[in-house]
């Protein structure tokens, strides 16, 4: 089988050498598909979600060769995030998996970080960049790689093709809603037709190469469905030639933009819930004077707390505007303090958003 494959590679390379057709004019597409792990998505409250990421290079019919994919920048829909949790999926560090690992042995690679898998995927490659030779067998395994120095979620992506017997290791970083994936030189100077990540996905079962695994953290991805009911994705691909042996660039790279894609969704408005109200202020206030207090209100619900106000004993009032789910806001309230000199006055604060309210209080010495 290996001998036959080697002959096929040689034949393809010969065709490329004599071909006058040049790769070019490729177009690209990128999309994401998001669904809730259970129940429904909310308009403002991030919940655990399933995520599929798909990136494709489309080659015109007239072309015989394909320009390799070097990098993809995929802008996720607003409100989508990666949430690495080392207690659930330990970080797959470079001490366990790196470019010098036995990438041609998928069982060894997956076992090296078996508990760190957050997703799986598939791919297809054009052997030696020749469009007529498409290999559809590559698999992908995605590992939690922790966070970058800037605190951005990182992933490692292992790819293996049984047809070539070669594996590659890629890295990805999610920064400001953009997933940046660098793609190394693929075996036999091949070009990627597409890749698809499924996080956490339904799993990968390939007994022919000794791999059976699945994403192990159902909460790795969180997402919302905004009030618009639209999840928007856009992307940029970098395509260019590289020396298959050294990986050095050959000629200029080209950046190709993918058209924006839209997934329709339905998000629940949810319900706001105001948590405990925390108060900080002066230890003592002269009777009849006003004290300035910092009142922190947290929304522990699933919907936006709209038009939050805080009132206080003594007639004080402050406005906090809207507070998103999981967020807090500190509101300044100036209120009159009354009481007997030398005694203690209890100041009560009430936070309200529509029919939802919560209270807090503090004691002040009266001067």
For tokens 């022919």, what's the residue? 208
CATH of the domain at 362: 2.60.40.10
Tell whether 273 is covered by a domain.
no
**Which tokens sit at 186?**
């693929």
For 254, the enclosing helix (H) or strand (E) is strand 249-264
Tell whether 120 is covered by a domain.
yes
* Per-residue pLDDT at 24: 62
Total domains, the chain: 2
Tell whether 1 is covered by a domain.
no
Residues 236 and 283 in one domain: no
Residues 90 and 183 in one domain: yes
pLDDT band for position 249 (50/70/90)? confident
* Per-residue pLDDT at 13: 38
Percent of the chain with pLDDT strictly greater than 90: 88
> Is pLDDT of 349 > 70?
yes
* Per-residue pLDDT at 272: 97
Residues 94 and 234 in one domain: yes
The model's pLDDT over 262-277, given as tens digits with 9 standing for 90+, comes to 999 999 999 999 987 9
- Does residue 135 contact residue 187 with C-beta atoms inside 8 Å? no
Residues 107 and 161 in one domain: yes
Tell whether 258 is covered by a domain.
yes
The model's pLDDT over 190-243, given as tens digits with 9 standing for 90+, comes to 999 999 999 999 999 999 999 999 999 999 999 999 999 999 999 999 999 988
pLDDT band for position 1 (50/70/90)? very low
Quote the CA–CA distance of 40 and 49 in Å, as a whole number.
9
Tell whether 245 is covered by a domain.
yes
| Number of C-beta neighbours around residue 319 at 10 A | 11
The model's pLDDT over 22-36, given as tens digits with 9 standing for 90+, comes to 346 899 999 999 999
Residues 77 and 179 in one domain: yes
Tell whether 9 is covered by a domain.
no
Reference 139, options 154, 124, 153; nearest CA is 124
**Which tokens sit at 353?**
């958003």
pLDDT band for position 16 (50/70/90)? very low
Residues 182 and 320 in one domain: no
- Last-in-domain residue among 268, 298, 324: 268
pLDDT band for position 10 (50/70/90)? very low
Residues 296 and 227 in one domain: no
* Per-residue pLDDT at 260: 97
* Per-residue pLDDT at 247: 81
> Is pLDDT of 7 > 60?
no
Residues 305 and 254 in one domain: no
- Does residue 321 contact residue 310 with C-beta atoms inside 8 Å? no
Residues 76 and 201 in one domain: yes
- Last-in-domain residue among 268, 287, 321: 268
> Is pLDDT of 183 > 60?
yes
Residue range of the domain that includes 286: 278-366
Tell whether 15 is covered by a domain.
no
Contacts for 340 with CB less than 8 Å, ≥ 6 apart: 287, 366
Residues 212 and 186 in one domain: yes
Residues 56 and 159 in one domain: yes
| Number of C-beta neighbours around residue 137 at 10 A | 16
pLDDT band for position 87 (50/70/90)? very high
Tell whether 6 is covered by a domain.
no
* Per-residue pLDDT at 187: 85
How many CA atoms within 13 Å lie on the side-chain side of 33?
A: 8
Residues 148 and 241 in one domain: yes
The model's pLDDT over 287-343, given as tens digits with 9 standing for 90+, comes to 999 999 999 999 999 999 999 999 999 999 999 999 999 999 999 999 999 999 999
- Last-in-domain residue among 226, 249, 268: 268
For tokens 């925390």, what's the residue? 278
Quote the CA–CA distance of 300 and 275 in Å, as a whole number.
6
Given phi > 0 = left and psi -120 to 50 = alpha, else beta, which region is 27?
Answer: beta
Quote the CA–CA distance of 330 and 293 in Å, as a whole number.
10
């Amino acid at each position: 089988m290996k001998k036959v494959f080697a002959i096929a590679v040689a034949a393809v390379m010969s065709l490329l050498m004599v071909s006058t057709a040049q790769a070019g004019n490729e177009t690209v597409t990128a999309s994401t598909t998001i669904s809730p792990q259970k129940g429904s998505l909310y308009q403002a409250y991030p919940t655990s979600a399933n995520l599929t990421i798909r990136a494709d290079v489309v080659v015109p019919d007239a072309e015989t060769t394909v320009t390799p994919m070097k990098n993809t920048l995929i802008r996720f829909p607003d409100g989508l995030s990666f949430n690495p949790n080392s207690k659930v999926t330990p970080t797959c560090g470079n001490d366990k998996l790196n470019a010098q690992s036995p990438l041609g042995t998928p069982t060894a690679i997956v076992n090296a970080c078996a508990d760190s898998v957050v997703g799986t995927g598939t791919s297809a490659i054009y052997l030696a960049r020749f469009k007529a030779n498409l290999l559809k067998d590559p698999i992908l395994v995605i590992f939690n790689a922790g966070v970058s120095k800037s605190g951005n979620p990182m992933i490692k992506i292992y790819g293996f093709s049984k047809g070539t017997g070669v594996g590659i290791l890629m890295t990805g970083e999610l920064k400001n809603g953009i997933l940046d994936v660098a793609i190394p030189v693929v075996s036999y100077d091949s070009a990627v037709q597409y890749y698809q990540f499924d996080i956490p996905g339904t799993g990968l079962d390939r007994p022919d190469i000794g791999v059976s695994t699945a994403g192990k953290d159902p909460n790795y991805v969180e997402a919302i469905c905004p009030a618009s009911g639209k999840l928007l994705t856009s992307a940029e691909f970098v395509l260019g030639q590289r020396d298959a042996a050294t990986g050095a660039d050959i000629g200029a790279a080209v950046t190709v933009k993918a058209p924006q894609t839209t997934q329709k969704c339905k998000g629940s408005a949810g319900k706001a819930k105001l948590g405990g109200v925390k108060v900080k202020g002066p230890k003592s206030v002269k009777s009849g004077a006003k004290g300035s207090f910092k009142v922190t209100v947290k929304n522990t619900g699933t919907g936006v707390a709209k038009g939050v106000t805080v009132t206080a004993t003594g007639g004080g009032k402050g406005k906090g505007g809207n507070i998103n789910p999981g967020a807090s806001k500190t509101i300044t309230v100036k209120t009159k303090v009354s009481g007997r000199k030398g005694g203690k006055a209890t100041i009560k604060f009430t936070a309200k958003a529509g029919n939802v309210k919560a209270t807090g209080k503090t004691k002040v010495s009266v001067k």
